[in-house]
Amino acid sequence: MNHRHPHPDLLPLLERIVVGSVSVTARAVADAAPELSLLQWRVLVVLAGQPDGATVTDVAERIGSRLPATSRLLGRMRGRALVTMRKDQPDARVTTVLLTTEGQALWERVAGRRREELDAALAAAHLEARDRAVLDRLAEAFAVFG
């Protein structure tokens, strides 16, 4: 897909925001849960937004990984008591993944640390109320990756 924006000078700014946000997340994970990989963090994020769980296939698609690799990753996370897996009742071929209490607590700890960093960045940016519309449009554009 080639989507050209009429203002190519904005791309470097957006890249700086993306790189900075990944760094904020990496720091939050390193501070709050050093034993967690960024890919495992991504799984926690996906599942935290799914109170009824998600299928292994859905998790794989959302984290951008292949099904066999995702299954192995989820197996390791299950071994650490971060997720639980169950077979779907109507179709036993489908496995649903859910966060455990421990997984939810870990997500909350890392997300809280990340929010502190993001709050500091917002304060440093001195944004005004009218800037919210721009941030909202960017958030909507990035929602497809969430």
Domains of the chain by residue range: 21-145
Which amino acid would we find at residue 137? R
pLDDT at 76: 96
Looking at the domain covering 21-145, what would its CATH class be? mainly alpha
Q: Which of the two residues, 103 and 92, has the higher pLDDT score?
A: 103
Please enumerate in sequence order all residues whose Cβ is within 8 A of that of 100, keeping only pairs 6 or more positions apart, or say none: 81, 82, 83, 84
Confidence class for position 92, pLDDT limits 50, 70, 90: confident
> Looking at the predicted structure, is the pLDDT value of residue 64 above 80?
yes
Confidence class for position 140, pLDDT limits 50, 70, 90: very high
Cα of 134 vs its chain's centroid, Å = 21
Neighbour tally for 60: CB within 10 Å: 21
Q: Which of 37-46, 76-85, 136-145 has the lowest mean pLDDT?
A: 136-145
pLDDT at 1: 52
Average pLDDT over residues 128-145: 90
Q: What is the pTM of this model?
A: 0.85
Average pLDDT over residues 56-60: 96
